[in-house]
């Protein structure tokens, strides 16, 4: 997939400080404050604090959860939404550049939430506008709002973020959610297991990131009882068909890892199964009724964490306002 900036690029000088492009834009303290705010919104989902604010959702790539939960978040906070979910209905289909689209939309709104198929597109957008940008996924690069809901889900189910064994399974090459999650967990002394076939292994740059940050990890091709029964979190991922240039290669690897209920028999009591969704064949339907299946609640947590992220991007903190 083409990139328009490095995965580990520094913040551009012009970037609005409230923008969120990469999870690495947030300090540990900021992440913990956002989780606290998410919990507030889970308890108070209809706090109308965005009166008069307009938010744009620009989705150049398909989405169900991310777009709808961001839009629900704005609605529940009392703001207004404009945007598109199909760029072919916009003037980008006539050749308008991303730069011009961002400048134009910036004339209308207080915040832009954007998903794009190009790695680095969100970072680029921050260079052409002063309006804060939230990256809702850019190619195989980053998905920071997903990471915040993943952290919230891990915290809620485990009671802590520290010292957990987290097994990431499937498409570790193209899966932007696992890339963001590794970067966020660097503050919490995790042990990662990376389970993937050789074609979809964790990219070298993320292994180097682990090495540089003292993150323990092991790589596996077998998704077996040894791995499953010693995990606190199993994070399944979909093989990202849209990022393959060779469809035959996709066909070869798409069904290599499927979690079935019987495989969980010896698993830890506290184990929870996460998946950013959508799933294709990675989790059998017979897992859905297992109390360790958490992926649908995980997606629901996206609403509360995105309410927190929107407030953060707009410089609004209902917890401070209450003090
Ligand atoms: N997890 C996630 O990004 O889902 P969508 O692609 O449906 O937004």
At 265-289, the pLDDT tens digits run: 999 999 999 999 999 999 999 999 9
Q: Which of 238, 19, 240 is nearest to 121 (CA)?
A: 19
What's the whole-model pTM score? 0.93
Measured between alpha carbons, how far is 276 from 145 in angstroms, rounded to an integer? 11
- In this predicted structure, what is the pLDDT of residue 131? 98
Q: What is the atom index within ligand 1 of the atom nearest the CA of 137?
A: 3
Residue 284: which domain range?
144-300
Is 170 in the same domain as 256? yes
CATH number of the domain where residue 169 is located: 3.40.50.1370
Domain assignment present for residue 9? The answer is no
Where is pLDDT greater, at 192 or 247?
A: 192
Is 293 in the same domain as 240? yes
Residue 225 has which token pair? 């009882």
Is 268 in the same domain as 153? yes
Is 73 in the same domain as 124? yes
Q: What is the atom index within ligand 1 of the atom nearest the CA of 302?
A: 1
Is 39 in the same domain as 131? yes
Is 75 in the same domain as 107? yes
The per-residue pLDDT for range 200-259, each reduced to its tens digit, is: 999 999 999 999 999 999 999 999 999 999 999 999 999 988 878 888 888 888 888 999
Q: In Å, what is the CA distance from 174 to each residue of 26, 52, 203, 220, 315? A: 22, 38, 9, 17, 32
- In this predicted structure, what is the pLDDT of residue 1? 46
Is 290 in the same domain as 175? yes
Residue with CA at minimum distance from ligand 1 atom 1: 276
Domain assignment present for residue 18? The answer is no
Residue 146 has which token pair? 């997903």
Measured between alpha carbons, how far is 194 from 271 in angstroms, rounded to an integer? 17
- In this predicted structure, what is the pLDDT of residue 133? 98
Q: What is the atom index within ligand 1 of the atom nearest the CA of 136?
A: 3
Ligand 1: centre distance to CA 145 (Å): 10
Ligand 1: centre distance to CA 241 (Å): 14
| Ligand 1 pocket, CB under 6 A | 63-66, 137, 146, 276-278
Is 155 in the same domain as 252? yes
Comparing 54-63, 169-178, 212-221, which segment has the lowest mean pLDDT? 169-178
Is 230 in the same domain as 115? no
Measured between alpha carbons, how far is 301 from 157 in angstroms, rounded to an integer? 12
- Backbone φ and ψ of 150, nearest 5°: -65, -45
Ligand 1: centre distance to CA 67 (Å): 8
Is 180 in the same domain as 275? yes
Domains in the chain: how many in total? Answer: 2
Mutating to test ligand 1, I would choose from 57, 58, 61, 64 the residue with most ligand atoms within 8 A of its C-beta, which is 64
- Which positions are catalytic? 65-66, 94, 115, 143
Ligand 1: centre distance to CA 177 (Å): 10
Q: What is the atom index within ligand 1 of the atom nearest the CA of 62?
A: 6
Domain assignment present for residue 66? The answer is yes
């Amino acid at each position: 997939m083409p990139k328009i900036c490095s995965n580990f690029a520094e913040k551009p000088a012009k970037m609005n400080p409230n923008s969120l492009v990469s999870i690495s834009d947030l300090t540990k303290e900021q992440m913990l404050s956002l989780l606290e705010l998410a919990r507030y919104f889970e308890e108070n989902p209809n706090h109308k604090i965005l009166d008069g604010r307009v938010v744009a959702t620009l989705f150049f790539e398909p989405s169900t959860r991310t777009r709808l939960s961001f839009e629900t978040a704005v609605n529940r906070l009392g703001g207004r939404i404009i945007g598109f979910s199909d760029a072919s209905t916009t003037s980008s289909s006539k050749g308008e550049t991303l730069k011009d689209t961002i400048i134009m939309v910036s004339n209308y709104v207080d915040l832009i939430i954007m998903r794009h198929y190009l790695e680095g597109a969100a970072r680029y957008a921050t260079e052409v506008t002063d309006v804060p940008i939230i990256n809702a996924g850019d190619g195989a690069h980053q998905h920071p709002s997903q990471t915040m809901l993943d952290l919230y889900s891990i915290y809620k189910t485990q009671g802590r973020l520290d010292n957990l064994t987290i097994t990431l399974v499937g498409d570790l090459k193209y899966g932007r959610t696992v890339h963001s999650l590794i970067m966020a967990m660097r503050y919490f002394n995790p042990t990662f297991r990376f389970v993937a076939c050789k074609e979809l292994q964790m990219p070298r740059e993320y292994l180097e990131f682990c090495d540089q940050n003292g993150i323990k990890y092991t790589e596996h091709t077998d998704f077996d009882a040894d791995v499953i029964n010693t995990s606190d979190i199993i994070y399944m991922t979909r093989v990202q068909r849209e990022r393959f240039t060779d469809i035959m290669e996709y066909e070869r690897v798409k069904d290599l890892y499927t979690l079935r209920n019987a495989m969980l028999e010896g698993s830890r009591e506290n184990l929870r199964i996460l998946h950013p969704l959508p799933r294709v064949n990675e989790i059998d339907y017979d897992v859905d009724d297992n109390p360790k299946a958490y992926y649908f609640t995980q997606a629901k947590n996206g609403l509360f964490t995105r309410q927190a992220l929107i407030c953060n991007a707009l410089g609004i903190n209902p917890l401070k306002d209450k003090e």
